[in-house]
Each structure stands twice: as C-alpha cells, then as structure tokens.
Chain A
C-alpha cells in the first residue's frame, strides 16, 4: 500500500533489514542495517518484527508526505524528526495521518545513520530472502538504489491493534555518540600470528582515526603502522562482519555490512558484532581504540546484546 511520498530525497537513504544470509558462498555480500540495535528498535516501536525493512537514513533526512494513516518510528541520535513543523523525540513512534509532512533536522556531531520504520514494514521485493539494498550490485531495496525524489514508499499489512505509540526504555539505549576516543571491543585473530609482538601492541595501544575513505563496505583508519612479520597476504579466506584487514601499509580496515565474502589480506582481529553499531555512527575524523576481549567474554556480551535487541526494550508510552 502506498504510504509515504518522497518530496525530497535528502542525502542517502536505503531500505535495509537484518541482512542477506545464505548467498555469501556465491559472492553476495550480506548488507543489512548498519546499526542493528536502532533498526530493531525502530521496528518494535511500530509493532513490526525485527525482520521487516526500515529506512536507513545517512546524514541528511528526506522530506516525506504521508499518503495513508499509519504509525512511524524513529531511532537514532543524528537527526531530530519533525512532524507538521513540530520537533518530536526519537526512540519513539507516532501516529501520522494522510497529508502530514515529515522532515528531519540535522543534529551536529551526534552520529551518522538514523532509522525510520513504518507499521507493516517497508514493502520492497524480497530478493534472496532479504529486502536489504546492495547499491554496488544494484539489487535489493528500492530497485537496488537509494531513495529518489518522487518515489512512493509502500508498506506491508499490519494488525490494527498494533496502532499504538511506543517508546524505547532509556535504560536499554546506547550511549550518545561523542567526539572523544571510542572504545571498540575485538577478538584477536584470525591471522594475529602474521603480526610481530610490536605490531599487536601498536594495534591495541594506539588511537586510530576514521579516514574519509569509509563507507558501508568498510571503514579505513589512519594511525600508527601495524607491523607484519613477513607477508600481509594470505590465500583468500572468508571475512566475518567486523574483520580487521591490515594490508601492506599497516593501516587497519574494518570490513562492514557490504564487505566482500572473501579477501586476501591478513586480519589481525575482529570487532564483536554488538560493537559494529558504533561504526554506523562514526564519521571521518572520529577516533577509536581497539580493546581485546576473550572468546568467553565475547560470547557473554553477544547473549546480553541479543536480549537488548528484543521487544522487551520497547514499552507503551508512559503518558
């Protein structure tokens, strides 16, 4: 059902869901929402399952006109949603009616990516079991591309009893992105034995700055050179989400949502999945420090994160 009309496309908005799994063996990237927690919350706010697609809004938001009464949800820190001229809180959902106007004001230095949901989910075709957009491959989402002015956004069916405004429990919300040094947790490996002790020490004790050459495929960093023992190349091997490749220049690249399934550079460590949400909010110039955790600790953090990314983090509005 036509639900929203794009009056102005903004900067770069795509449809994303939990990702396209099952096709990496054919070289198809996973894609999916860059900030998994915000994506899940946006969906739960409007009564959707986590699997539904949301709009991933990068930097500047679109201007939208509501075509059909519905419930919309907002999650993120980088933008302030405005409904009919009135600024409203994020991490909450709102009833909107045909003819209403939605736009977004940019909040400086508060992250990069923001998520908007619609009751019933963004209705774009399921391609290889996912609605996620892979722009480089030109498939998924809105015809394989970002949102354009004039597009009409369809939404799926929803139960009328779900037409209830909700909000995210603030105790479950992530920290507001700050300009300081952000700590990112990693599990060492898979090729840590290709690095000298000094290389590993450099990696764990230096501050790395996000380079301008960063996108949904990967984030490049600049900082102290990480020393290899001999070679920086391996026989091409699978790349996990958050895999940190270090090519010959010794500068780390964190492989993210639109990464290749296979690559031939040594990987010193892997960012744990819960901390990939941080990357969704990093902009060039931001600083990170990598902190090693054990596999046991990583497993515990993963379980706690799964619990946070559930319906229980969302409640009916308190007033």
Chain B
C-alpha cells in the first residue's frame, strides 16, 4: 500500500502506512521516524509513531504543507534501504496471581487452561512495543498468544493499581499509573514505566519499536524489587534484541 500523506491542521502531517495492526507496517513507521528525524535537521518539532502511522509536527515558518510533504516523499523513496538502529528487549518482572493478580483464577476458567499454563504462555513471548501513549509510558503491545485472550470485565474497576498487568480482549498490557480499567488482572510489576529521577531526569525503560518479555517472580522478589525501585537502586534488565 502506498503511503498516504494527510494534513492534520496547519502544522502536522500524518504519514499513513496502513490501516491494520501489523508488525511489518509498524516497522516501516519506526524506520520512517528514524530517517525523517535524521534527514530533516531544521523544522521538525516532534513526531508521534503509532501502530501504523507517523504524526509529524513541523514548523510552518520553515515549511509550507506542500513543501514538507514533498520532502517526506523524497525520503520515503529511500525507506527500504534505511538502516534501523538496533532494538532492545526489556524484562518486566511480574508477580502473578494472589492479591496482585485477582483475575488469574478466572482467566484459567475462561480459557480452559491451568493457572500455570496461562502464566507460562504469557511469559513465553517477546512482545513488540508498537507505540506508547494514552497515559505516560503506556505500551501498546503486540504478539499475545490468542489462547489466553479473554473479554474485558463487564464491570470495570474504578481503581486499578499502578503496575497491574492484564489482558483485555486480544491485547495484554501494563497500567503505568493508577487508573480506572476493565482489563483482567493477572499480576503486578513492581517496576515503573515512567519516572522522574533525581534532577527531574525522565526515565522511560520502554521505547516504541522495542520489545518486552514478562518474567514470573515470587511475592518475596516482588517486595524486594519494589524496595529497590523506591530507593532508586533498581537496575533494569535491557538487552539488545535478536529475533532468533
């Protein structure tokens, strides 16, 4: 499918690569994001990669809409030969079940699997981070095994604790902040997906185009990691990603 360039007001362009959730389409978005920022040094204010499109904020004092789209089209021609920087995979420790994962038992019932199998399936996939958004640090993940898909709760919770890991329909995700929510909660992670560290430095362990893998931990480990996070001593396990 040809890339569509759509005007979003007087200073934003959406480069649309498709209308589906697809890892290959998403990869093009991240490639394009990377080379556009590399090639256009002046006049780009910000970019927002999503599942299947890239929103680009440009400076209208530098480019008219038409000139900017022409620049993008030129860059698009080199897209297939564009190198992507390496991707990374971050391990997210999760304590499954019990008070921290109140819906795990129900999930086993709904899927016809044992509790152990649900956890094993959930922790055996490298999930692609298609994009982040909705709330600070919220990852939209792809790759979940559909054997553990389950409908959202008919009665959403008014308070889902920060770090809750859940399944809603065909998706799995992590709540970076306390919020209302209707996903079924399998467990909780003690780590933070967004924090301002000393000197107000932002820290985002998860980046669009990278991967995560969930790792089961015990309740004791949960509390020990939580303490390290509070003390600012927790070290994330983030490695270069290779597909095999």
Contacts and interface: CB of A to CB of B under 8 A. Distances in A.
Interface of A: 21-28, 30, 125-128, 137, 139, 186-187, 189-190, 234-243, 260-262, 267, 270-274, 295-296, 298-299, 301-303, 306
Contacts of A267: 8
Contact of B57 (A21, A128, A260, A299): A21
A238 B54 contact: yes
B204 interface: yes
Nearest to B135: A27
Interface of B: 6-12, 14, 16, 19-21, 45-55, 57, 60-61, 64-66, 131-138, 140, 194, 196, 200, 202, 204, 207-208
Given A189-B6, A272-B10, A273-B11, A262 B136 contact: no
Given A28-B202, A235-B21, 17 more contacts: A25-B208, A26-B207, A27-B133, A27-B135, A27-B137, A27-B194, A187-B9, A190-B7, A236-B133, A237-B53, A238-B12, A240-B9, A240-B12, A240-B55, A270-B9, A299-B66, A302-B61
Given A236-B140, A271-B9, A296 B51 contact: no
Contact of B45 (A21, A23, A28, A234): A21
Nearest to B177: A137
Contact of B65 (A128, A240, A296): A296
A28 B51 contact: no
A271 B61 CA distance: 18
Contact of A274 (B10, B50, B57, B194): B10
Nearest to A20: B46
Given A236-B50, A240-B12, A242-B9, A26 B64 contact: no
Contacts of B133: 24, 27, 236, 260-262
A21 B138 CA distance: 18
A240 B60 contact: no
A127 B207 CA distance: 19
21 contacts: A24-B47, A26-B132, A26-B136, A27-B133, A126-B200, A137-B135, A187-B8, A189-B6, A234-B19, A236-B51, A236-B131, A237-B14, A237-B50, A237-B51, A238-B8, A238-B14, A238-B50, A241-B9, A262-B133, A295-B10, A296-B66
B12 to A, nearest CB: 4
Contacts of B10: 187, 272-274, 295, 298-299, 301-302
Given A190-B7, A260-B134, A270-B9, A25 B52 contact: no
B48 A299 contact: no
Given A26-B136, A27-B133, A27-B137, A190 B64 contact: no
Given A28-B136, A187-B8, A262-B133, A306 B61 contact: yes
B6 A190 contact: yes
Nearest to A127: B200
Contacts of B12: 238, 240-241, 270
Contacts of B61: 302-303, 306
Contact of B64 (A21, A242, A296): A296
Given A298-B65, A303-B60, A187 B7 contact: yes
A184 to B, nearest CB: 12
Contacts of A273: 9-11, 60
Contacts of A137: 135-136
A188 to B, nearest CB: 8
Given A240-B57, A303-B61, A25 B8 contact: no
A21 B8 contact: no
Contacts of B9: 186-187, 240-243, 270-273, 298
Nearest to B139: A27
Nearest to B21: A235
B139 to A, nearest CB: 9
B173 to A, nearest CB: 12
Contacts of A187: 7-10
Contacts of B132: 25-27
A262 B50 contact: yes
A306 B58 CA distance: 13
B128 to A, nearest CB: 15
Contacts of A139: 196
Given A25-B208, A238-B53, A271-B9, A295 B137 contact: no
B194 A26 contact: yes
Contacts of A299: 10, 60, 64-66
